[in-house]
A and B are shown apart, each in its own frame.
Chain A
Amino acid sequence: MSLRITRQGVLDTIQDLGRFGHQYLGINCNGAMDKFSMQLANALLGKELNAPVIEIHFPSSQILFEREAVICIAGADFLPTINDRPIPLHHPVAVNKKTNLKFEKFQTGARCYISLFNELKLDKWMNSYSTNLKAGTGGFDGRGLMKNDVIAFTNGLNISKLLHEREFVVFPWKANDIVDTRNEIEFIIGSEWHWLSKDAQDLFQEQWFQITNEADRMGYQLAGQNLEAKNNDQLVSSAVCFGTVQLLPNGQLIILMADHQTAGGYPRIAHVISAYLPILAQKKPNDVIRFKMTSLEEAEKKLLNQKKYLQQLQIACKFRLEEFLHAHL
């Protein structure tokens, strides 16, 4: 029961919702960049929302399913195919043994997620399956997937009858979500917001910033007009989080992403709100964004709505799956 990587992608790792509770030891959180799509992939299979998934960048890994599996792909659209025939995103799909999953083309977004109904056999480290690339631990051997890696999985469902020699079968339910391509990114002010002059605060909200080539799982460096701090105060190192916008000494900005360090010493002028991090996580170099201020109250509300939506979807899909299997197996 396994899948095999037959071609190595640029950076494909195992991720879940992240590793919390150990940041005081400098152990950072990691976790999926787009947590919404990651959970969506799990929800559509009726799986626990925090179950580990494969996070895929483009150019992507090619995967050979050595056994039948039920999968769901969510997030960026890289035109996934099974044996060269397109399969839809945001739909559970049963795939037959000895089939090849490929991602053909960079269309929308930057990261997609593959969830398997079958349970993947992976390394849990400090209470999470997320890959910590720096420490070389968690996920699959603490690193990105490489050619000939084999990930074993449990025998989930007996679907040979359903597949009936076909290469794949698309299940009859889906989510209508598509990658949100909005480029207005909502933020709340950070504790050093007032270190910016009034003009710099206005400029922060008015100008378009371009995501530079220095954009990875650790952070996105932005290109734009320099923002000036009112003073040259130094900040004593203190916690930072996913979405923190730091002002660098040269007046440029960096947004910290999923693999951020636990603490930092640059002024935290803003924080992208949690509900918008999935949108940001689907941006890539050269995309442009603009920051739009919101309140903490709104930020909490949007986060809770997202959470409720995913929980309800997960429960609904769990029922659908049971019904479907009952009727077809």
Chain B
Amino acid sequence: MNPFQPYSFFPLGDSALTIDFGNIISEDINKKVLRLFQHLKTIDDHSIIDLVPAYSSLTVYYDVASFQHPDKTAFELMADILEELFSKSSDIHEEESNYFEIPVCYSKKFALDIDYIAEQNQLSSEEIIHIHTSKTYKVYMLGFLPGFTYMGEVDHRISITRKTAPVKLFPGAVGIAGRQTGIYPLESPGGWQIIGRTPVKVFKKEDENPVLFHPGDEVKFYSITEDEFKNYQARRT
């Protein structure tokens, strides 16, 4: 028995292995995922090509050619390596994370769907802003677009189902889908309900580290006015 149990391994195609901790969103499970992810990242193993942490799973892409065994598949050999590692889990440290305070302009100009949420959830837009800014969110994972964060969990009072059809969104759009909140890094079609816009660029392709948030980071939003939004953008350029 190791502290990561229960989990299961399954092949994600013929060149990746997913460690699955159960089909649920839970902060504790995500912590396990991120601890393992950060540990595996530090291991100098040329057979590991990529690591994809998600809410409750970690996927390891590997080079099939670096495993050659007469009666075991590369998948089985990779699984053996991971089991071995889990049994030595005392070497695995707590995850590292950063904390960010992110300005958001919740003005109607950007908050495309705040009236809809207000109507659906019987709240005023001020209440929605207050609720959204009063909690620190955890970055569970990134995906969908370079730099797109899945953060959670928003208070159930502002939880809202996503749109049935995506609409074109501006970079920096801050949205809610279910109990998740996130920021669109690029102009893109998106189905989340939009409540504001941040002037912070969460994806800068020209930077050496192009993505601002990493899995495990913590984010708190604060409200700014349209003027502050403009000033912030002006300062940056």
Instruction: Please determine whether B146 and A236 come into contact, CB atoms closer than 8 angstroms.
Output: no
Task: Give chain B nearest CB distance to A52 CB in angstroms.
Answer: 18
A-B contact pairs, 16 of them (CB 8 A): A22-B50, A23-B61, A24-B37, A134-B145, A135-B145, A188-B14, A191-B18, A233-B23, A236-B25, A240-B12, A241-B15, A244-B13, A262-B52, A263-B144, A271-B11, A303-B14
Name the residue in B50, B51, B73, B143 with the highest tally of chain A Cβ atoms < 10 Å from its Cβ.
B143
Q: Smallest CB-CB separation from B212: which chain A residue?
A: A25
Q: Does B226 belong to the interface (CB within 8 Å)?
A: no
Q: Would you give the 0/1 interface string for B7-20, flagging 1 where the beta carbon is closer than 8 Å to chain A?
A: 00011111110101
Residues of A within 8 A of B150 (CB): 237
CB-defined contacts of B188 to chain A, threshold 8 Å: 134
Number of interface residues of A (CB under 8 A): 48
Q: Is A28 an interface residue (CB 8 A)?
A: yes
For the complex, what is the distance from the CA of A25 to the CA of B41, rounded to whole Å?
Answer: 13
Chain B residues, CB < 8 A from A22: 50
A223 at the interface (CB under 8 A from B): no
- How far, in angstroms, from A51 to B16 measured CA to CA in the complex? 23
- Quick check: is B59 within 8 A (CB to CB) of the other chain? yes
Per-residue contact bits, chain A 61-102, to B (CB 8 Å; 1 contact, 0 not): 000000000000000000000000000000000000000000
Complex CA distance for A140 and B75, rounded to whole angstroms: 36
Quick one: given A24-B215, A28-B146, A136-B205, are A191 and B10 in contact (CB under 8 Å)?
A: yes
The answer to whether A274 has its CB under 8 Å from any CB of chain B is yes
Q: A238 in the interface, Cβ–Cβ < 8 Å?
A: yes
A126 at the interface (CB under 8 A from B): yes
B211 and A235 contact, CB distance less than 8 A? no
- Is A26 in contact with chain B by the CB < 8 A criterion? yes
Taking the complex as formed, is B165 at the interface, i.e. its CB lies under 8 A from any CB of chain A?
A: no
Chain A 232-275 near chain B by CB (<8 Å), digits 1 or 0: 01011111111110000000000000000111100010011110
Contact pick for B147, options A23, A25, A125, A300, CB 8 Å: A25
Chain A residues lying within 8 Å of B61, measured Cβ to Cβ, are 20, 23, 241
State the 9 A-B residue pairs at the shortest beta-carbon distance, nearest first. Answer: A239-B59, A263-B143, A26-B142, A271-B13, A299-B14, A239-B52, A25-B211, A20-B50, A137-B205
Please name the residue on chain B nearest to A21 by beta carbon.
Answer: B50
Residue of B nearest to A274 (CB): B14
| B148 on interface, CB distance cutoff 8 Å | yes
Contact A239:B12 (CB < 8 A) given known A25-B142, A261-B143, A262-B143: yes
In-complex Cβ contact of A300 among B20, B24, B56, B73 (8 A)? B73
Q: Which B residues form the contact surface with A (CB < 8 A)?
A: 10-16, 18, 20, 23-25, 37, 49-57, 59, 61, 64-65, 73-75, 141-150, 185-186, 188, 203, 205, 210-211, 214-215
When the two chains form their complex, are residues B12 and A24 in contact, meaning their CB atoms are under 8 A apart?
A: no
- The complex places the Cα of A240 from the Cα of B186 at a distance, in Å, of 21
Are A24 and B51 neighbours in the complex by a CB distance under 8 Å? Answer: yes
Residues of A within 8 A of B (CB): 20-29, 125-126, 132, 134-137, 142, 188, 190-191, 233, 235-244, 261-264, 268, 271-274, 296-297, 299-300, 303-304, 307
Given the interface pairs A24-B51, A137-B205, A296-B75, the reply to whether A241 lies near B12 with Cβ below 8 Å is yes
Instruction: Identify the closest chain B residue to A298 (Cβ).
Output: B14
- Cα A261 to Cα B54 in complex, Å, equals 13
Contacts of B203 in A (CB 8 A): 135
- A271's nearest neighbour on chain B, judged by CB, is B13
Q: Which residue of A lies closest to B54 (CB)?
A: A238
> By the criterion CB–CB under 8 Å, are B13 and A188 in contact?
yes
Option from B50, B73, B141, B149 in Cβ contact (under 8 Å) with A297:
B73
- Beta-carbon contact of B205 and A236 below 8 Å: no
**Cα distance A161–B205 in the bound complex, in angstroms:** 44
